[in-house]
Structure 1
Amino acid sequence: MERTQRRTFWPFLTPALLMFSLFFIAPIVFSAWLSFHRWDGISTIEPRGFKNYINLFHDPVFLTSLKNTALILVVGGGLVFVISFAITAVLREMTDRKFVKNVLFFPVLVNPLVFGAMAGLLFRPDGIVNALLDVVGISHPPKWLGEQNLMKMIIAVTVWAGTGFYTTVLMSGVDQIPPTYYEAAELDGAGPWRRFWNVTIPLSWDVITVCAILWTISTIKVFELVLVFGGTVSGAPPNDTYTTALYVYESAFSAKTTRDFGVASAAALVSLVLVTVAAIVLHRMMRRDAVELA
């Protein structure tokens, strides 16, 4: 039986491996090779060695994109998980929470471009937010969409869009915890906070770890919001708002400067390596013995 299972294993797995290799492994390998060359997509490919990587770390725009990506990872992630934990703690005590969970998950179904357009409608100088502030006596509100506030707005909208997803995932783990654990903690005199801290978090730690890694990976893909908030019809967003994803896009397809797929590939590879290292370190830091639920 074991030999039969081994023989049937590869025929079923091979199509998936081929697709994965074709659409994921092959592009990564090609990008790694291209990162050591100069190519505008039309002319002859020219070898450059490590020059693309050296220039990257001397480029203030790329360094800014790394800083902004790290800002979204740390500050945005911290806000997402604090809010998600708070909502989870409240939902755990609710008897009928299905509707609330559906409402919270709804932003996940909406394209980030919609959030950017809606935020622009709300926070423009003559928008709804400033109109409401004027009613309560604040006649000189901040320049919400000014260049100095764009990164804050991008992080805020990212948190708003992502909180529902991570709350839903956390709740899927919390729902698997047997009610008897909470009943025992309540009999011992534990209040809602103590039950959440001593029962919910330890018994859903694996789910929390998965959410943390998913968030870490998602930070290198923040692109549309930056383009919507800071982009114009005639140009890209300000350099101070660049993320690594936008830097890769502008290096490869910019109309302002010469396109260079080699630089774009090098930037993409650096981002991939950094986020991989961050995910591995995070996983090791959060690793703990498995807890089996009776």
Structure 2
Amino acid sequence: MERSQRRTFWPFLTPALIVFVLFFLAPIVFSIWLSLQRWDGVSDAEPRGLSNYANLLDDPLFLTSMKNTGLILTVGGALIFVISFGVTVLLREMTDRKIVRYVLFFPVLVNPLIFGVMTGLLFRPTGIVNTLLSNAGVDDPPKWLAEQNLMTMIIAVTVWAGTGYYTTILMSGVEQIPQTYYEAAELDGASAWGRFRHVTLPLSWDVVSVCALLWTISTVKVFELVLVFGGSTGGAPPNTTYTTALYVYESAFSARTSRDFGVSSAAALISLVLIATLAVLLRRMMRRDSIQLS
């Protein structure tokens, strides 16, 4: 039996291994080589060594993009998890929670480009929001789409779009907690906060750690919303709204600046290393002994 399994091991593994090498490993290796070059996509590549990396660390725009990505990761993540857990606790007590879950999950199905366009229409100076505020007697409505407010709006829309997704995942873990645990906590006099702290959170910790890991990885891919939403001010997004994904795109494909696939690859690799390191650290920090439910 073992000999037969060994004979079939490689024939079954080889197709998946080929796909992994061609579409995952090879592009990473090529990106590492390209990050050491200067190449506009047309002329011959010019070796530059580690200059691309050194220049990135001195580039204010790249540092701004890293800061904005960090803001989305920390501020946006904190808001998403607070709201998601609050909604999860409320849904657990509802009888018709499936309908509410479908409504909450709906924004996940919508492309971020739609959110950018819709938010621009709602919050522009003559949009619906300011019109309602003016009719309510507000003489000077906020300038929602002013450059100094754009990152706040981007984070807010990101939180709104992602809350339903993480609420659904957290709810799947919370629903596995036996009701008897909550009944025992109530008999011991635990408040709503006490039941959440001592029952819900510890018994769903594995699901929480997975959600935190998924959010950490997804922040490096925030791109479409910034491109459309930031561009609503007239043309290209302002420098103050750049994320790492947008910086990588602009460095390689923008017609407004000189294209340099080497710089773009170096920026992408720096982002990849930082996010991977953060994900590993986060996973280690959130590791706990598993609790068996009975």
TM-score where L is the length of structure 1:
0.96
Q: 1:30 to 1:80 in 2, by over 3 A?
A: same
Match of 2:130 in 1: 130
Asked whether 1:207 is paired with 2:207, we answer yes
Q: Indicate if the aligned counterparts of 2:223 and 2:245 stay in contact, CA closer than 8 A.
A: yes
How many Å separate the matches in 1 of 2:90 and 2:258?
53
Q: 1:133, CA displacement in angstroms?
A: 1.2
Contact 2:146/2:233 (<8 A) preserved: no
Q: Which amino acid aligns with 1:83?
A: I
Q: Could you say what secondary structure the match of 2:220 adopts?
A: helix
Q: Counterpart in 1 of 2:253?
A: 253
Question: How many residue pairs end up in the alignment?
Answer: 294
Provide the C-alpha distance between the structure 2 equivalents of 1:156 and 1:9, rounded to a whole number of angstroms.
49
Instruction: Spell out, residue by residue over 1:40-90, the C-alpha distance to the aligned partner (whole angstroms, 9 max, x if none).
Output: 001001100000000001110000000000000000001101100110111
Counterpart for residue 16 of structure 1: 16
- The alpha carbon displacement at 1:234 in A equals 7.8
Paired position in structure 2 for 1:33: 33
Measure the CA separation in 2 of the matches of 1:239 and 1:95.
47
Structure 1 residues 281 and 241, CA gap change in structure 2 (3 angstroms):
same
Aligned to 1:227: 227
| Counterpart position of 1:44 | 44
State how far apart, in whole Å, the 2-side matches of 1:5 and 1:187 are.
55
2:164 corresponding residue in structure 1: 164
Q: CA, structure 1 residues 82+234, in 2 after alignment: closer, same or farther (shift >3 Å)?
A: closer
Q: Percent identity?
A: 74
2:184 partner amino acid: A
1:12 is displaced (CA, Å) by 2.5
- Structure 1 equivalent of residue 174 of structure 2: 174
Q: Provide the C-alpha distance between the structure 1 equivalents of 2:114 and 2:217, rounded to a whole number of angstroms.
A: 22
Q: Is the 8 A contact 2:145 2:233 kept in 1?
A: no
Asked if residue 103 in structure 1 is aligned to residue 103 in structure 2, the reply is yes
Deviation at 1:233, TM superposition (A): 10
Cα offset, 1:231, TM superposition: 1.8
Specify the alignment match of 1:282 in structure 2. Answer: 282
Secondary structure at the counterpart of residue 288 of structure 2:
coil
Change (3 A) 1:11 1:233: farther
Q: What CA deviation, in whole Å up to 9, does each residue of 1:13-65 have, x standing for no partner?
A: 32222212211111111001100000000100110000000000111000000
User: Aligned pair in 2 of structure 1 residues 4, 202: CA closer, same or farther (>3 Å)?
Assistant: farther
2:79 aligned with 1:79? yes
RMSD between superposed Cα atoms in Å: 1.5
Distance 2:7 2:123 in 1: 61
Matching residue of 1:142: 142
| Alignment partners' CA distance in 2, 1:260 and 1:232 | 26
Which amino acid is 2:218 matched to?
S
- Rounded to whole Å, the distance in 2 between the matches of 1:264 and 1:85 is 37
Name the stretch that deviates more: 198-207 or 232-241: 232-241
Q: Is the 8 A contact 2:123 2:144 kept in 1?
A: yes
Structure 2 CA distance, aligned partners of 1:240 and 1:122?
22
* Alpha-carbon spacing, 1:13–1:157, altered in 2? closer, same or farther (3 Å): same
Instruction: Report if aligned partners of 2:150, 2:241 keep a CA contact under 8 Å in 1.
Output: yes
Residue 6 (structure 1) shift: 4.0
Q: Distance in 2 between matches of 1:191 and 1:4?
A: 59
Which amino acid in 1 is paired with 2:131? A
TM-score, normalised via structure 2 length? 0.96
With over 3 angstroms needed to count, the CA separation of the structure-2 counterparts of 1:4 and 1:177, relative to structure 1, is farther
Residue deviations 1:109-152, cap 9 Å, x none? 00000111110111011111111211222121111011111111
- Shift in alpha-carbon separation, 1:86–1:44, aligned structure 2, 3 A: same
Alignment CA distance shift 1:155-1:233 (3 Å): closer
> Which ranges of structure 2 fall in alignment gaps of 5 or more residues?
none
- Would you say the 8 A contact 2:120–2:232 is kept in 1? no
Q: Is the 8 A contact 2:116 2:225 kept in 1?
A: yes
